[in-house]
Amino acid sequence: MNQLIQYQNWQVKTDGDNIVWLYFDRAGRSTNSISPAVLDELEQILEEISNDNSVRAIIFASAKTTGFIAGADVEQFTQFKSKEEAMVFINKGQDLFKKIAAFKIPTIAMIKGFCLGGGMELALACRYRVAEDGAKTKLGLPEILLGIHPGWGGCVRLPRLIGAPQAMNLILTGRTVSAKAAAKLGFVDAAVPERHLMRAARYYALKAPAPHKTTFLQQLTNHSFIRSMLAKKMRAEVQKKALPEYYPAPYAVIDLWEKNGIEERALALEAESLGNIALSETARNLVRIFFLQDRLKSLGKQVKFSAKHVHVVGAGTMGGDIAAWCALRGITVTLQDREPKFIAPAIKRAADLYKKKLKEPRLVQAALDRLMPDPNGTGIGKADIIIEAIFENLEAKQALFKDLEQKCKPTAVLATNTSSIPLDEINAVLQNPGRLVGVHFFNPVAMMQLVEVVQGQVSSSEFLDKATAFVRQIDRLPLPVKSHPGFLVNRVLMPYLMEAMTLLEEGVPASVIDQAAIKFGMPMGPIELADTVGLDVCFAVAKNLGNYFGGAVPVRLEKMVNDKILGKKTGKGFYTYQNGKLVKDKPLNYHPSPDIADRMILRMLNESAACLREQVIADADLLDAGMIFGTGFAPFRGGPMHYAQAKEIDMIVTRLREFSEKYGERFKPDAQWEKL
């Protein structure tokens, strides 16, 4: 006989086999996340179950269609005022998950959709895990991306279940995996189609087969004499991407595991460690970025527009990769260029991307079938959005859009991927200039999350809304900006790069400049970044922006472009590259000036202030989001303007004035600083 008990956040159903189905349904939220109130109710439910000898098994599931559990409620970490407050929440979760792990009856996590963070830790506390093998099911422990680490047993139970190397790789990178990959790794017992999911959960509940066990070699990786060797390698790998003074969480995970392994006592130490870093500046800033990302994701949500057909003009690196990404996201795409031979390399790159992303041959072929070469432009009349990605020349873009306007549907969005030309110069030739918007992608398209949605003076809100919705449709983050030269990201980034070039001309070695930026927290130094973007691209943008804002393009950069020394794509730029990889120089005996990093960063901060003054961007939070997701600006610092506020505006202005006298007028403090 079925019985249903409704709690505020949980539904408890008991079926005829005395299996308790515990459905998580957090009140007032579209997705499940774990809050103190959720834990309080779970504690009550588990206590009642433990006192009922008739219960045969417990199956944890989600009542929401959006996924299993997204993790702990991130908002909680913004509200804690002290470590003691944080520890109450952390210890509560630890204690309840220990209780789940200690049940003598079978406990099963039935997973459909995302199973992340605290949700994954709840699943790990269960004896068995079954997961739906659809594309939306993703499992992992991404806490490290928020500047924290698992605190409800993840650092202990995952290495215990699948061995240290694979477990620590997941924890230290924060990456998620599919249900099939999780089953292959060993922390999901069965990955099945949705129609078999409940049957699989019932099988483990009723048959209670032997739980998954690690192999002998996996067990060996958790032994004390092996841990010290592996920990050393792990630290070296982490240090390539994250310095310990800025990102303490991954190092804390390695320390915990190396010293305490997977013994039960390690659980309490894991909780204590999380309490120590949960309120750190890095954690607070990375949580802030999490909410900034959510803000960008919310844009265009209310717009009822979904592109079924995209037409891209220009099959170069940007255009070809934009087309490939749109097809990957399930849209029919036609890709146009002058001749088939110009389209062929883009199709080859797309095939490589699909093999990497999709794995299964049938899915790869389906994506390739959606991407159609179209040298004659037959897709123009069918497209819902047409994206121009030809070379940066005003007359060429005007001629193209004038032609496109005559051939496309009246409802189609006309979009340009220009990186620096103002929209109101391009749209001057159109009968309906309001149709033209900017959708400015960043290279490499498959990796860069941000897309600037650019508004010209006469851009229609209808078409801007459609463009924003399209960016979300292809799983990218839309950033609304005004059509000023360079928009936001290139406008702010270029002074930073040009200051790096000036330092080069002053005789500072490229590796010293890059190291100063990396030490500040940038993911890549500006010289290597320029090589990666392409020196011809940097030169074109710098020259274009120089026409509007003044400032000379560095002589060395211009000469290198004229000599076809263009960076990574030609094998030589400021650095040398072999097979696409940077050839490292020998260490230099050079004593850098302490001003190097400040000179580059202050140019960026000053330009950010100017963009706020000119209302290129609506507010400082959006500016910070744009620079973090568009350039990788040191995430742990929270964005340029947040960093400036943290350093105190008066100190920033004083330093700018000092540099203005020392290095030139380009450091003159922008008038906006007085209003901040």
- The residue-averaged pLDDT of 275-283 equals 94
- The residue-averaged pLDDT of 405-429 equals 94
Lowest-confidence segment of 225-229, 273-277, 343-347, 581-585 by average pLDDT: 581-585
Does residue 270 carry a catalytic annotation? Answer: no
| 3 state DSSP class of 20 | strand
d(CA 28, CA 22): 18
Does residue 143 carry a catalytic annotation? Answer: yes
- The residue-averaged pLDDT of 4-12 equals 93
CATH classification number, 490-675, choose in 1.20.1740.10, 1.20.120.80, 1.10.10.10, 1.10.1040.50: 1.10.1040.50
The helix-helix angle for 489-505 and 526-533 (nearest 10°) equals 120
pLDDT value at position 4? 82
Q: Which of 121, 258, 528, 607 is catalytic?
A: 121
What confidence tier does 549 reach under pLDDT thresholds 50, 70, 90? confident
d(CA 363, CA 243): 38
Contact 414, 398 (CB under 8 A): no
pLDDT value at position 432? 96
- CATH topology classification for 309-483: Rossmann fold (3.40.50)
Mean residue pLDDT across the chain? 95
Contact 525, 497 (CB under 8 A): no
pLDDT value at position 33? 97
pLDDT value at position 414? 98
- The residue-averaged pLDDT of 644-650 equals 95
- Indicate the residue type of 610: A
Percent of the chain with pLDDT over 90: 88
Q: Of the candidates 152, 173, 162, 145, which has an alpha carbon nearest to the alpha carbon of residue 254?
A: 173
- Residues 186-236 have pLDDT tens digits of 999 999 999 999 999 999 999 999 999 999 999 999 999 899 999 999 999
d(CA 653, CA 602): 9
- The residue-averaged pLDDT of 505-512 equals 92
Long-range (24+ apart) CB contacts under 8 A made by 640-645 are: 640/492, 640/604, 640/605, 640/608, 641/605, 641/608, 641/609, 641/612, 641/676, 642/285, 642/288, 643/605, 644/605, 644/608, 644/609, 644/676, 645/676
Q: Which of 41, 132, 143, 528 is catalytic?
A: 143
Contact 207, 175 (CB under 8 A): no
Non-local (6+) Cβ contacts of 105 within 8 A are 55, 56, 57, 58
Query: What DSSP state is assigned to residue 475?
Result: T
pLDDT value at position 1? 42
Indicate if the pLDDT at residue 589 is higher than 80.
no
Residues of the chain with CATH 3.40.50.720: 309-483
Indicate if the pLDDT at residue 513 is higher than 50.
yes
User: Which two structure tokens, joined as six digits, stand for 512?
Assistant: 């010293």
- The residue-averaged pLDDT of 432-452 equals 95
What confidence tier does 261 reach under pLDDT thresholds 50, 70, 90? very high
- CATH topology classification for 3-279: 2-enoyl-CoA Hydratase; Chain A, domain 1 (3.90.226)
DSSP string, 357-423: HH-SHHHHHHHHHHEEE-TT-TTGGG-SEEEE---S-HHHHHHHHHHHHHHS-TTPEEEE--SSS-H
Residues of the chain with CATH 3.90.226.10: 3-279
Taking CA atoms, 671 is separated from 490, 606, 622, 642, in Å, by 21, 10, 20, 18
- Residues 291-334 have pLDDT tens digits of 999 999 999 889 999 999 999 999 999 999 999 999 999 999 99
pLDDT value at position 2? 65
DSSP string, 87-134: HHHHHHHHHHHHHHHH-SS-EEEEE-SEEETHHHHHHHHSSEEEEE-S
Integer distance in angstroms from the first to the last C-alpha of the chain? 65
Indicate if the pLDDT at residue 3 is higher than 80.
no
Query: What DSSP state is assigned to residue 588?
Result: P
Long-range (24+ apart) CB contacts under 8 A made by 65-68 are: 65/113, 66/30, 66/31, 66/32, 66/113, 66/114, 67/31, 67/32, 67/112, 67/113, 67/114, 67/115, 67/136, 68/24, 68/32, 68/109, 68/111, 68/112, 68/113, 68/114, 68/115, 68/119, 68/123
Q: Largest alpha-carbon pair distance within the chain?
A: 83
